[in-house]
Amino acid sequence: MKFLLLVLLFSLPVFAAYENPEEAFEITPDELDPADGEVVQKKEKYMWDESLVAPYNSDYGVLDSRRYTGKDRNKLSASLHLNGQYERLQKLMAFEVTWLRRSEAWHKLWWGGTYRRAQTRWNEITSNNQSGGESAFSRPGDADQTINTLGLGLGYRFKLFLDFWDVKDTFESVQVFATYNSLAEGHTGDNYTGYGMAADYGLHKRTRQSFFYGGKFTYNIAWVEGPENDRTLSLGWYTFALEAGFLF
């Protein structure tokens, strides 16, 4: 009971500025491009999952002009992925380009596409099947594999864990993509295609009004079919990536 009273006590200053408490956190489509003064005046609303970014100008020793991150509309980034199994980093490497567009209806939601190309080894993504059409084919664990992936999906940017630290220029994000995958199997020379899913969690720092960099963890799964209907493979792998890009 004491805990509940404390929560209510600390919540009152935030809600007191608005007749409707939900108004403190929900931004309508008409409010997505506020004036700087309005951002400061209603910071409970506009700073809930956004920030005023003021990058440091090392040439002049001052902060550059501020930018409200709620005005971000597009995200274009490139990522270098390394094997999630750190003792075999060089056995799985990938390059990714992602473009996301912010939803006009719900400003926390992003949508867009991604392209990923991975160079890896057989044992890093799957194993030899002992049944079905694939049972006749046994690949060595170090057989080269190439995976091309196209994905369409959704993203969500937030500052959940970062609410515990006073950081205005760092953000978290999650993204989920439905993917179409093409596997070029290096040992048999066959091509496999099929659908799957990719999901990632990222942590990024905004160093300029538009530029950002950071890292993310990505998990991928896919089910691909070979030259014959009874030849199917289940693929799964995870990576850690370094990511950089622009928000504009």
Residues 118 and 92: their CA atoms lie apart, in Å, by: 7
Contact (Cβ atoms closer than 8 angstroms) between residue 114 and residue 82: no
Q: For 134-146, what is the mean pLDDT? A: 87
Q: For 6-27, what is the mean pLDDT? A: 46
* 46-60, 126-140, 208-222: which is most confident: 208-222
69-247 CATH fold: Porin (2.40.160)
59 vs 167, higher pLDDT: 167
**pLDDT the model gives residue 5:** 39
**pLDDT the model gives residue 122:** 95
**pLDDT the model gives residue 15:** 38
24 vs 162, higher pLDDT: 162
- 232-247 vs 74-83, strand pairing mode: antiparallel
Give pLDDT tens digits for 147-204. Answer: 999 999 999 998 887 667 767 788 999 999 999 999 999 988 999 999 999 999 999 9
**pLDDT the model gives residue 17:** 42
At 2, the pLDDT band (50, 70, 90 cuts) reads very low
63 vs 157, higher pLDDT: 157
At 13, the pLDDT band (50, 70, 90 cuts) reads very low
Residues 124 and 87: their CA atoms lie apart, in Å, by: 12
**pLDDT the model gives residue 121:** 96
What are the two backbone dihedrals, phi and then psi, of residue 161, each rounded to the nearest 5 degrees?
-70, -25
What are the two backbone dihedrals, phi and then psi, of residue 27, each rounded to the nearest 5 degrees?
-105, 125
Q: Is the pLDDT of residue 59 over 60?
A: no
Residues 165 and 173: their CA atoms lie apart, in Å, by: 17
Amino acid at position 220, single letter:
N
Give pLDDT tens digits for 208-247. Answer: 888 999 999 999 999 999 988 778 999 999 999 999 999 9
Where do the domains of the chain lie? 2-48, 69-247
Amino acid at position 187, single letter:
H
Give pLDDT tens digits for 75-116. Answer: 999 999 999 998 898 899 999 999 999 998 888 899 999 999
Contact (Cβ atoms closer than 8 angstroms) between residue 167 and residue 208: no
**pLDDT the model gives residue 36:** 67
